[in-house]
Amino acid sequence: MGLEMEALGYHYIVEASGCDPEILSDPIKLRNILLKAARIGKMDVRTTHFYKFSPMGVSGMVVVTGSHISIHTWPENQYAAIDVYICGSESAPEKAIEYILETLGAEYAHVTELERGIKDNDVYTHAILSWDESFERSKNQER
């Protein structure tokens, strides 16, 4: 008898490098990007919260039905840490991530996908898959 191991949730951890520092510094632009990413990813938005740090950097979260999309930015390093967590299989988190990376102007991304909540007998565990993506973007390319 085969043991079917289905995940309750999928957590994508994204390290985005070479991003546009102007966008990474703007909580309003980041909120709009994450809201559109949620729509593209077929996620129902429940609430948002974004905070601009001094002198720079933004942390923000979009809470969606079944979980969240979050971002933490370091404009001085052209770096963003992005998390997308979803439960179930109705949404399209990869499309949301693709839109976020494109809109931030990311040149490179390291992505880790965790399948979370895998029941193994009476305990829960997770499985991990990682990959890298490079993007050919001109610094003058419109974003």
In angstroms, the CA 58 to CA 66 distance is: 24
Domains defined along the chain, listed by start: 9-134 (3.60.90.10)
87 is known as an active-site residue = yes
Confidence at 48, pLDDT banded by 50, 70, 90: very high
CA-to-CA separations, 113 to 10, 82, 96, 130, 143, in angstroms, rounded: 7, 12, 14, 6, 26
pLDDT digits (tens, 9 = 90+) for 121-134: 889 999 999 989 89
Task: Tell me which of 11, 19, 67, 68 is the catalytic residue.
Answer: 67
Reply yes or no on whether 67 is catalytic. yes
Contact between 81 and 24 (Cβ < 8 Å): no
pLDDT digits 0-9 by tens, 4-23 = 568 899 999 999 999 999 99
Q: Considering 72, 126, 134, 138, which one is annotated as catalytic?
A: 72
